[in-house]
Structure 1
Amino acid sequence: MSIANYKKALPLLRIPFSLYLMPVFWFGLSALRGPWSGGRAAAVFVVVHLLAYPASNGYNSYYDRDEDSIGGLKAPPKVTPELLHLVWLFDALAVGGAALVSGAFAGLMVLYLLVSKAYSYEGIRLKKYPLLSTAVVVVFQGAYTFLMTQVGVGNNAAALFENTNLLLAVVSTLFLCGSYPLTQVYQHQEDARRGDRTLSLRLGVRGTFIFAALGLLAGAAALGLAYWLRQEPRALLVFLLATGPVVALFGRWAWLVWHDAVAASFEWAMRMNQVSSLCLSAAFGLLVLARQLGWAGF
């Protein structure tokens, strides 16, 4: 073992790719109506996006041993034992960092990390089961992370389990349900080689895009209902304006794929991830700012 080997393994943690999941963090904050700590929010962001997600990514790469492109890496390096050492280090830092925020946040973080291991670990490997693995990913990276973020910044139980807050948590899962299969659509050969029957593989290329469209549409409808119940029409307007580029890009990609399945590529999937992450983060980040400044109608 050497420092050079750890440096070679570090890209497999895919830290930049973890940032594509930022919208759930900002969405969780944007739903808060009471006061919360900016310092704790920053700590939650670091623990979730710079420690927990990279640890999960690295663990998945350790057992998948991908030879083709994976999320955030067009040409992943060869897996070595040093990768697992980095995973355990990031796991420990995530749990330790979460404990400094609060005991409840740390407990939720431990459960998240355990479930993420079950997704990839060869003795369990939820990834082999298309419906179960999809349900686990969209719930834990969606509603669970949404609520975990709110717990981390100090949201009380009454606000946490308020009806419209729970509905917004469900919205985050619906959006993940729509977008998650798109991250698998270019990996069909690789997944089939390993025996992983992912949802996208089962649906086929065209079926993946139909499923994604239905999931995203359901999420947008549920979000509109939630904002209507919360009497926050301006928040819905911000969301619709910000997601215009996402809808346009998705429509363009779907049209290309419909005419030639080769367009279901790594490059297009990463472009979709980048644009949707930036647009949604901008929308929910603006809502956070508006509410912190006390703007009416938000």
Structure 2
Amino acid sequence: MFKLSSWKHLRIPFSFYLLPIFIFALAFTPNHNPERMLIVLVALHLFLYPSSNGYNSYFDKDEKSIGGLRNPPKVTKGLYFLSLVFFLVSLALGLMINWQFSSMLLVYSLVSMAYSHPSIRLKKYAYVSWVVAGFFQGCFTFCMAYAGLSDFGWEVFTKSHVLIPGLLSSLMLWGSYPLTQVYQHEEDAKRGDITLSLKLGKKGTFVFSSVWFLVTGICFSWFFLSRNQESAFYGFLGAMLPVILFFLVWFSFVQKDEQKYTNYTWTMWMNRISAIALNIFFAWYFLENTQILQAIG
């Protein structure tokens, strides 16, 4: 029933790039439970995110490279139904935690659908889509993961110790999100989607992101130092070093020839380096913040 092309559009491996948020939430979870950890991980990264990817792909109908697919195959109606199946499975998995966690998955999915559905299509509004995507993939996802991992409900959104690291997660995404659009200007313009990167221009996108990277670094530094976690402060700076170096090298090439270097390959390498560095750092931070390393020692 479901063609191979539909499965490709789910882009399940692409979930790796959002894994740092899950691990960051895990570092603050007070009630660690292996079963809940597995359910939340699978619900988010194997079903919710792929469902969102597939649903967006169906309505975007991209003909050129998209995140995780250099040559996206033509979409079919089967992709639409496959994305809904994955959506329903994620909700069912959420119910294995509690109904509130499942309702959070529902809200995330509905916002994601609104991002690309032609009747709403948040994607065509530059600043609205930037704020919404950054908030829901960052802060909302952090709080949602925290709630699921801890068997809590919507009350987590009122807790400062959850909201602050959640907002820090959004800062990271608000900085990097426009860069993911920088090679899609032609496709977006053809559909009438005025993305933030398209509005800023290619060089303007890099300037904009560099400002947000600086803000993110300052805020994360304040966060770790305010918690007397100097090792985490230096660890975060170390993790960001290869990301910033790659960004600066990429930007230097773009300034020489923006048409040639604002492409899929450079963007995906930026994503890979960032995801690998942050996944390693947050995995270490999880072990450090939960004192698992001390217990092992």
Report the TM range for the smaller structure's normalisation: over 0.9
- Is residue 27 of structure 1 aligned with residue 21 of structure 2? no
Cα deviation per residue 1:157-178 (whole Å; 9 max; x = unaligned)?
Answer: 7876443432211111110000
- Give SS of 2:119's match: coil
Residue 28 of structure 1, CA deviation: 1.4
**Other-structure match for 2:100:** 104
Cα deviation per residue 1:128-178 (whole Å; 9 max; x = unaligned)?
Answer: 101111111000000000111100011657876443432211111110000
- Is residue 170 of structure 1 aligned with residue 167 of structure 2? yes
Instruction: Please tell me whether the aligned partners of residues 206 and 257 of structure 1 are also in contact (alpha carbons under 8 angstroms).
Output: yes
Instruction: Please tell me whether the aligned partners of residues 164 and 229 of structure 1 are also in contact (alpha carbons under 8 angstroms).
Output: no
- Is residue 250 of structure 1 aligned with residue 232 of structure 2? no
2:73 to 70, 77, 91: 77
Gaps of at least 5 residues in structure 2 are: none
**Other-structure match for 1:272:** 270
**Other-structure match for 2:39:** 43
Residue 182 of structure 1, CA deviation: 0.6
**Other-structure match for 2:206:** 209
Instruction: Please tell me whether the aligned partners of residues 164 and 226 of structure 1 are also in contact (alpha carbons under 8 angstroms).
Output: no
Cα deviation per residue 1:261-289 (whole Å; 9 max; x = unaligned)?
Answer: 02111000001101100100100011112
2:150 to 154, 176, 186: 154
**Other-structure match for 1:236:** 233
**Other-structure match for 1:284:** 282
- Give SS of 1:76's match: coil
**Other-structure match for 1:259:** 256
**Other-structure match for 1:145:** 141
Residue 201 of structure 1, CA deviation: 0.2
Distance 1:63 1:160, change over 3 A: closer
Gaps of at least 5 residues in structure 1 are: none
1:250 counterpart letter in structure 2: F
Residue 228 of structure 1, CA deviation: 1.9
Cα deviation per residue 1:195-240 (whole Å; 9 max; x = unaligned)?
Answer: 0000000000011011111112111111111112222221111111
**Other-structure match for 1:199:** 196
Residue 292 of structure 1, CA deviation: 3.5
Instruction: Please tell me whether the aligned partners of residues 143 and 157 of structure 2 are also in contact (alpha carbons under 8 angstroms).
Output: yes
- The alignment covers a number of residue pairs equal to 292
- Give SS of 2:150's match: coil
RMSD of equivalent CA atoms: 1.6
Residue 24 of structure 1, CA deviation: 0.9
TM-score (norm 1): 0.94
- Aligned-residue sequence identity (percent) comes to 40
Instruction: Please tell me whether the aligned partners of residues 98 and 151 of structure 2 are also in contact (alpha carbons under 8 angstroms).
Output: no
Distance 1:84 1:156, change over 3 A: closer
TM-score (norm 2): 0.94
- Give SS of 2:175's match: helix
- Is residue 134 of structure 1 aligned with residue 94 of structure 2? no
- Is residue 113 of structure 1 aligned with residue 91 of structure 2? no
Instruction: Please tell me whether the aligned partners of residues 138 and 176 of structure 1 are also in contact (alpha carbons under 8 angstroms).
Output: yes
1:90 to 86, 100, 123: 86
